[in-house]
Every structure is written in structure tokens, then in C-alpha cells.
Amino acid sequence: MKLRREASEKGFVEVLSNCRLTMCSVLVCLCFGAKISEDEIKKIESVLKDVMLITLPKLPNFFPILTPLFRKQLRQAKALRNKQLECLVPLVRKRKAFVESGGNGGPEMASPVGAAYIDSLFRLDALGRGKLGEEELVTLCSEAINAGTDMSATTLEWALLHLVLDQEIQEKLYKEIVEHVGKDGLVTESDVEKMSYLDIVMPEDDDDTSSDVDFVVEMEASHTYVPHSMLEDDSGDLQLFDNLEVETFQKTFKVKRDAILHETTSTSTVSNMLLEVGVPMEIQEFKVNRILACVNDMARQKRYAGRKVLKMRATAEVTQFVYEDFDFDDRVCGLVPVSESSIEALEKVEVEEGTGETCSICLEELIGGAAVARRPCLHLFDQNCIFNWLNRNNFCLLCRFKLLARQ
């Protein structure tokens, strides 16, 4: 009805906005186990989209003396964070009360205790420091909703485009739908499972049918650099710095089913993927466990049976605290060397001739074909220079990204 009304009023239907709204509604239900009104969904979708797109100046992060020049942007970011909390904290509290009551709650709760994503977060002991707070729960749920909304909505838009362009596919799908539910029937999930043409054509891409690849995992890590002087505002309130997205590293991995499911190799396989996008070993445990739980769940579900390729997307947020007055002497640096495993994990690459790339340690040009090492933060160095540096310091000279220190 909504789409028909929009078509009659505007003469067309906005595909992406409607796909985003639908996926956001589904993901909010999956995260919080609750059905909420369309107006609330629109508000949440709008706020989370702004959170994802917000960009704050990088300059004051490293030159705090310039911070007063960017007060307006910081105020805007804090206001957005407050709107995010206003939207999602009530959902967190309602679900927590529902779980603590043993499932006795209002009619808005659509899933039983243990079925919502946030239910697992309530039980989580965060690295030995106790239960997660409301702001942390909001951040984790926002991350899941944003990641799922964008990827799913874009995929739906792509599928609808090809459906519109290909008349033959339209006809076959229409005939199959009519055969199962009639011209005016409501299509349910059980009906979709019976539609053989839809099940064969839609789930897989032609380029992902290699028999050697069972899982395609898209990893994305957002690195936030927070200077210590900005941790507290004038009122001493710690806020917002999970939104200071500075750099995002993304990579897609194709791995065999045995490597990611076998108990002896699963943890190291996922850990190495996280290292590739710059997630340090010391904060990986929670993310590794979540990814493996998702992988094992996908492998067991009947809906994925028979598919040659299973796809998933994982996101991580890494917050790194830096010192504006960082002094590269022995007293401050502490001469903390990097672990041998971190040095061995450095990616060896070859620089093309004439790129003008220079090593930031010796300042010499990186000659084509020379031995060059790339850190997880993607900065390039001469291999000998970076090995010598990491034997004394466990951070990147340019961005201060830390690797696992030698014990």
C-alpha cells in the first residue's frame, strides 16, 4: 500500500530509500527483538545514516592548539551522538527489562528471550571489566544495523535493476509466484523456499562458484585516533569519540570451509583476516568469537544447504589513543619491541617503478622491485628500516598504530 501510494503521488517509487527503510526495520527487529512504528524506524534510519557519514576534521586531533577553531563541528557531532542515544537507549532498556522478566513484556516484543542480537550482549563480560554499558550496547547495535542496511539495500537495488531490465526473468518469476500463491496471494518465507527458479537464480553470483572457495568474508575496520587532550570536554564528560572515524581498511577474503570451521585452524584464520585490516591481537577475542559463531550458524542452517558459496560481512571499530606531545625519545617510547609473530605477519610487497614512494624512516625513495614491508595500517617502509624500527618500538612512525608488543 505504501509503495502504491507513493507511486500515485509522485509518479515513481524511490527504490533505495524504501529498501533502506525496509532493511533497517528488519535489522532493528533482529537487534532488539521488537516491532516499532514506521515513524520511529525513519528516525532511527536517518540518525544512523548521519552517524555513518559524519566526518570530523583530523587536524585538531594532532594539533590540539587548533581545537577552538573546530568547536562548531565538535558540537554538531556531540548533538548527533545524543540523538543516537535518544533513539536507541529506550529500545535497549525495554529489551533488557523483557529479558530480566523472563519474557513477560509488552506486545511490541516480537522474538523470545535469547533470539535478539542484543540478548547475547547482555551476557557478555567485556574483557574482564564487567557488563557492557548502555552507550556501548548502542554503539554495537548501531554498527550491526548500519552494516546490514547499506549492504542489503544496495544488493536489493542491484537485483531490482536487473529484474526491470530483463523481461524474461520477470515473466518466469511472475509465473512461479502465481503457481504457488495465486495472483492476489501473500508470499511467505515458506512459499519462497518452494520456488525452485528463485532459489536457483538469485542466491549466487556466477563469479563465486569456485569449488575451492566456500566462504567469502568481507572485512572492514574503522580506525579512530583520539588524542588524550580531547577525551574530556569542558564539563569532564567522556563522549562521542566512537564517531571520530579517520581511516577505514577493507578487504575481501576467500577461504575454504575446512579452514574456517575446523577447531584447530578457525581462530587463527579469522585472526589473520582481522590483522590484515589492522585490528590488533589484544582486542580481537570478542570479534573472533562473534565471527566464528556466525560462520558456524550459517554452516548449520538448512536455508544455506547446497550453496557453493556463503557470504558474510564483518565490521570492527578500533579506537587508538595518541599523545599530541609525543616525544620520540627512549623515556617516552619505552623501547617496547614488537612480537616476532607481528613482524613475520608484515606483508611483503613490491613497489612499481616511478611511483615516487619514499620510506618515512630513511626518507630514501623506494626503488621498484626493492624489498618493502607494509604494516596493517597500510603504510610502506623499506624492509630493513621497518625491521630495525619494530625491534625497538611497537607503533607506526606515521599514525602510531600499535602492534602486539613482545612479552
CATH code of the domain covering residue 376 = 3.30.40.10
User: Given 3-state DSSP classes, what are the helix, strand and coil percentages for the chain, each rounded to the nearest 5?
Assistant: 50, 15, 35
Are residues 67 and 216 both part of a single domain?
Answer: no
User: Is residue 318, in this structure, part of any structural domain at all?
Assistant: yes
What pLDDT score was predicted for residue 92?
Answer: 93
What pLDDT score was predicted for residue 374?
Answer: 56
User: Is residue 198, in this structure, part of any structural domain at all?
Assistant: no
User: Is residue 313, in this structure, part of any structural domain at all?
Assistant: yes
Query: Domain limits at 345?
Result: 330-390
Considering only CA atoms, which of 361, 406, 365 is closest in space to residue 385?
A: 361
Cα–Cα distances (Å) from 363 to 335, 371, 382, in that order, read 22, 15, 9
Whole-model pTM: value is 0.48
User: Is residue 188, in this structure, part of any structural domain at all?
Assistant: no
Q: Tens digit of pLDDT for each residue in 386-400? A: 777 776 666 665 555
Are residues 65 and 128 both part of a single domain?
Answer: yes
Given a contact cutoff of 8 angstroms between Cβ atoms, the answer to whether 151 and 52 are in contact is no
Are residues 17 and 135 both part of a single domain?
Answer: yes
Q: Quote the CA–CA distance of 172 and 188 in Å, as a whole number.
A: 18
User: Is residue 150, in this structure, part of any structural domain at all?
Assistant: yes
The residue from 292, 308, 325 where one domain ends is 325
How much is the average pLDDT of 339-363?
Answer: 67
User: Is residue 176, in this structure, part of any structural domain at all?
Assistant: no
pLDDT-derived band of residue 205, with 50, 70 and 90 as boundaries?
very low
In this model, does residue 239 exceed pLDDT 50? no
Number of domains in the chain: 3
Given a contact cutoff of 8 angstroms between Cβ atoms, the answer to whether 31 and 144 are in contact is yes
Q: Are strands 372-374 and 247-255 parallel, antiparallel or unpaired?
A: unpaired
Lowest mean pLDDT, pick from 173-182, 236-245, 325-334:
325-334
Cα–Cα distances (Å) from 395 to 239, 318, 339, 376, 405, in that order, read 26, 15, 12, 11, 9
User: Is residue 311, in this structure, part of any structural domain at all?
Assistant: yes
User: Is residue 4, in this structure, part of any structural domain at all?
Assistant: yes
Are residues 252 and 225 both part of a single domain?
Answer: yes
Q: What percentage of the chain has pLDDT greater than the value 70? A: 65
Count the Cβ atoms, other than its own, within 10 Å of residue 114.
Answer: 12
Are residues 267 and 283 both part of a single domain?
Answer: yes
Q: Average per-residue pLDDT in the chain? A: 74
Lowest mean pLDDT, pick from 110-119, 157-166, 217-226:
217-226
pLDDT-derived band of residue 284, with 50, 70 and 90 as boundaries?
confident
pLDDT-derived band of residue 183, with 50, 70 and 90 as boundaries?
confident
Are residues 50 and 16 both part of a single domain?
Answer: yes
Specify which residues 315 forms β-bridges with: 220
Q: Tens digit of pLDDT for each residue in 66-95? A: 556 666 767 777 888 899 999 999 999 999
The residue from 307, 325, 343 where one domain ends is 325
Are residues 120 and 10 both part of a single domain?
Answer: yes
The residue from 325, 342, 362 where one domain ends is 325
Query: Residue 295: which residues within 8 A CB-CB, separation 6 or more?
Result: 215, 260, 261, 266, 312
